[in-house]
A and B are shown apart, each in its own frame.
Chain A
Amino acid sequence: MDRDLPLLSVRSVTKSYGARIGCADVSFDVWPGEVVAIVGESGSGKTTLLNCISTRLEPTAGTVSYRMRDGEMRDLYRLGEAERRFLLRTDWGFVHQNPADGLRMTVSAGANVGERLMAVGQRHYGNIRATATDWLGRVEIGADRIDDQPRSFSGGMRQRLQIARNLVTAPRLVFMDEPTGGLDVSVQARLLDLLRGLVHDLGLAVIIVTHDLAVARLLSHRMIVMKDGRVVEHGLTDRLLDDPQAPYTQLLVSSILQV
């Protein structure tokens, strides 16, 4: 894979609901191994944008293209449903804010992690279980919990299990929607630390939506700031947080970071 070519290209993506704008005219690229944070207040259109580029919500206008494993750039909304779903369960991951949305709460942790492997045709119980055990370890869940259902897990554990479930097929791109939202501050810190390590070790590209600039600072290389459905500023995370240009970004940075 050529690391000099973008993995994902978003061009003029717009989503409108009648007269109301979800997001408007958003364009950016994501390179392999790069973490891009989309930040903004609730209602800024960041989740709409995330859904549009992850094929969960068809945009009203614009294109989203993805470089497939064969190197070819494909328009995601021209993929057949079979291709799209295959992509979703192999080459992509999606980490929901609420782990219950991304986990099967009534099957064991081991099966939650193993499901993607079985979906792509692995048929050796012992190997699937070994891989699941390994991944539980990587997200700091004890091997003795492998047969427990996520219902019995704490919020932080559930979120780590959801991450393991997504990463087991070695995806190249992971979408995250407020992955630390709803967790206690100390649990958040541990999760962020874990995520940072995994993203770095695996060379993952990540698009993460967050309202929390601290999360963006810790995890991302680049940031996109949104307000009222539009991009107000876009740049390297360090530059943007240290020297915000747009008045809105300046307000955000001053109000949140200098607490």
Chain B
Amino acid sequence: MTAATYNFAYLDEQTKRMIRRAILKGIAIPGYQVPFASREMPMPYGWGTGGVQVTAAILGPDDVLKVIDQGADDTTNAVSIRKFFQRVAGIETTTNTADATIIQTRHRIPETPLQEGQVLVYQVPIPEPLRFLEPRETETRKMHALEEYGLMHVKLYEDIARNGHIATTYAYPVKVEGRYVMDPSPTPKFDNPKMHMSEALQLFGAGREKRIYALPPHTDVVSLDFEDHPFEVQRFDRPCALCGAEQVYLDEVVLDDRGGRMFVCSDSDHCETRQAEGFRGELAGEKLDASTSDRTEEVI
């Protein structure tokens, strides 16, 4: 066997066309899950094969790609996917949200608001928001077709009856353009409002489950709730310990085995940009510049 040569962005053009058709259909029917003939990819199912196929299908030689996992550019799977596209497409990559034309993400939406012309590609493990209420695909498709979403609210009702509030914290279901109930992928509900009326095109790819769906720019996206128990996002009672940002999603870092904790931005680009602009959190210290340039080890 000679060294394998791969097409630009790995997938052959026929496959890309098939995926683009599914994407276009998804854009035409916001929130509707379009079945597509998902391919095996050289990374495992469940590790972003849906997002990778969507990105591969829309990627052009002039695109600038950013890949994040848990909000950060340097988590292992984000690094791995970014490297994959560098190798098979030779495109430029970035960690800067504003510079990217395509951002592939797992579990977060960047803090910096997205702009017109940008595309956010979500990796989706289970695209069906009704799956854990009704395991049967044949039945859930019918429920979507007939807009039978009462069961979804039954679940929220049960949460309130049991806990006093809605106990869904991520993959929080939304209704798109008043029609389809959609799973936003396992992003924290903190990010749900960012999907609403976004300037960017949002594409969702589920490789193992073979579904693509989309939110075109300026789409109405409403998180499900009750009038007297309105949707609320998580709040953190302190700012980021490194850049001092408030109203952002934070990661909790365990500092020692005596209960020591710190909270830092989950969006690493957002945090670094703010630090470069001179913002400081309580644990940032002054020698910050020197230590962030050393990207190999963690230091406390």
A residues in contact (CB < 8 Å) with B: 81-82, 85, 89, 104, 107-108, 110-111, 114-116, 118-120, 123-126, 128-129, 146-147
Question: Could you tell me if B226 and A123 are in contact, using CB atoms closer than 8 angstroms?
Answer: yes
Question: Could you tell me if B162 and A118 are in contact, using CB atoms closer than 8 angstroms?
Answer: no
Q: Which of B161, B225, B228 has the most CB of A within 10 A?
A: B161
Question: Could you tell me if A124 and B227 are in contact, using CB atoms closer than 8 angstroms?
Answer: yes
Question: Could you tell me if B150 and A82 are in contact, using CB atoms closer than 8 angstroms?
Answer: no
Q: Tell me the count of chain B residues lying within 8 A, CB to CB, of chain A.
A: 20
Considering the chains assembled together, what is the distance between the CA atoms of A120 and B148 in angstroms?
Answer: 9
Question: Could you tell me if B154 and A115 are in contact, using CB atoms closer than 8 angstroms?
Answer: yes
* B235 → A minimal CB distance (Å): 21
Question: Could you tell me if B228 and A125 are in contact, using CB atoms closer than 8 angstroms?
Answer: yes
Considering the chains assembled together, what is the distance between the CA atoms of A128 and B157 in angstroms?
Answer: 9
Contacts of B148 in A (CB 8 A): 85, 119
B261 CB-CB contact with A under 8 Å: no
- Also in contact, A118 and B153, with CB within 8 A (given A110-B161, A126-B228): yes
Contacts of A116 in B (CB 8 A): 150
What are 28 A-B pairs at a CB distance below 8 A?
A81-B142, A81-B146, A82-B146, A85-B148, A107-B154, A108-B162, A110-B157, A111-B154, A114-B157, A118-B150, A118-B153, A119-B148, A119-B150, A119-B151, A123-B153, A123-B225, A123-B226, A124-B226, A124-B227, A125-B157, A125-B160, A125-B228, A125-B229, A126-B228, A128-B157, A129-B161, A146-B161, A147-B161
Contacts A89-B150, A111-B161, A126-B228 known; list 8 others, CB within 8 Å: A107-B158, A108-B158, A111-B154, A111-B157, A115-B151, A118-B153, A123-B153, A128-B226
- Also in contact, A147 and B150, with CB within 8 A (given A124-B228, A125-B226): no
Produce 1/0 per residue, B264-291, CB < 8 A to A: 0000000000000000000000000000
Considering the chains assembled together, what is the distance between the CA atoms of A124 and B147 in angstroms?
Answer: 19
* A171 → B minimal CB distance (Å): 15
Considering the chains assembled together, what is the distance between the CA atoms of A81 and B226 in angstroms?
Answer: 28
Interface residues of B in 160-197 (CB under 8 A from A): 160-162
Contacts of B226 in A (CB 8 A): 123-125, 128
